[in-house]
């Protein structure tokens, strides 16, 4: 994809007045951008499709008094097939909510933008299971936010964890504990899951293809990520259960 200074993804849209929408966009170079899409709800508006959730496009803005208005948009991708699968749509919407919760205005969000773009593309256009996609997204999302989970050494005694030994995830500490240091409230993680998380953090989504669902502890990682947010993600309620 050709990325420019104007490229962004629509994370949220809300009706405004009769025909407008307020959009929240994620820009790789400008971070979170809140902008008005004037007239976009009129059937023949050139901004109609570009103001939908998930829309990836090049957006031009006009700023006045600290308020941004979109002057034109050229649509690159709609991720339209996501709408055909309720579970995948729920996961996609949840990813948008997570990005909205972490991106700040004026911040460089290149890594987060690429993570979102790649995950949405796989969710929409590949047959890859959504559980490992979501689990991998959550691991990298935490790492980008500066809270990379500690998976190689015990969070308490610091010893290196062997591949097959029993380990326990601590949501508050954000890492694994060895059997000797385990505390109440920590979640037992299967050796295969610990191995998968280490691999998924090291490598990109292309290596997660064909991961059996049970290896990717996405519910655990959701808990880890969501306890660190200052708000709840509305789409979380739509997410399919285990």
Q: What is the DSSP letter of 178?
A: E
162 scored as a contact of Zn ion (CB under 5 A): no
Contact 13, 22 (CB under 8 A): yes
37 scored as a contact of Zn ion (CB under 5 A): no
182 scored as a contact of Zn ion (CB under 5 A): no
Of 82-90, 98-106, 148-156, 211-219, the window that binds Zn ion (rule: CB under 5 A) is 148-156
- Alpha-carbon dihedral sign for residues 39, 43, 45, 48: positive
Of 5-13, 112-120, 121-129, 171-179, the window that binds Zn ion (rule: CB under 5 A) is 171-179
Select the residue interacting with Zn ion from 23, 73, 138, 178 (CB under 5 A): 178
Instruction: Compute the CA torsion angle 190, 192, 197, 201 (nearest 10 deg).
Output: 160
Of 163-171, 176-184, 192-200, 231-239, the window that binds Zn ion (rule: CB under 5 A) is 176-184
154 scored as a contact of Zn ion (CB under 5 A): yes
**Strand 7-16 with 56-64, pairing:** antiparallel
Site for Zn ion in 63-82 (CB under 5 A): none
181 scored as a contact of Zn ion (CB under 5 A): yes
- Other residues' Cβ atoms within 10 Å of the Cβ of residue 215: 19
- Other residues' Cβ atoms within 10 Å of the Cβ of residue 79: 21
Per CB under 5 A, residues contacting Zn ion are: 154, 156-157, 178, 181
């Amino acid at each position: 994809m050709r990325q420019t200074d104007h490229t962004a993804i629509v994370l949220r849209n809300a009706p405004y007045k009769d025909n407008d929408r307020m959009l929240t966009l994620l820009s790789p170079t400008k971070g979170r951008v809140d902008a008005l899409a004037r007239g976009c709800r009129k059937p023949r508006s050139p901004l109609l499709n570009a103001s939908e959730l998930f829309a990836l496009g090049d957006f031009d803005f006009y700023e006045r008094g600290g308020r941004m208005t979109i002057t034109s948009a050229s649509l690159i991708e709609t991720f339209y097939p996501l709408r055909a699968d309720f579970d995948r749509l729920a996961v996609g919407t949840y990813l948008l909510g997570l990005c909205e919760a972490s991106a700040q205005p004026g911040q460089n969000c290149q890594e987060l933008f690429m993570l979102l773009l790649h995950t949405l593309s796989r969710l929409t256009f590949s047959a890859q299971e959504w559980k490992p996609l979501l689990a991998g997204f959550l691991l990298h999302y935490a790492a980008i936010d500066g809270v990379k989970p500690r998976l190689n050494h015990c969070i308490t005694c610091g010893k290196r964890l062997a591949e097959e030994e029993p380990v326990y995830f601590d949501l508050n500490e954000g890492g694994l504990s060895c059997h000797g240091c385990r505390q109440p409230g920590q979640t037992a993680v299967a050796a295969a899951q610990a191995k998968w998380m280490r691999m998924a953090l090291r490598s990109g989504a292309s290596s997660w293809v064909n991961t059996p669902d049970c290896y990717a502890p996405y519910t655990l990682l959701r808990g880890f990520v969501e306890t660190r947010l200052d708000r709840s993600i509305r789409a979380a309620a739509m997410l399919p259960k285990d």
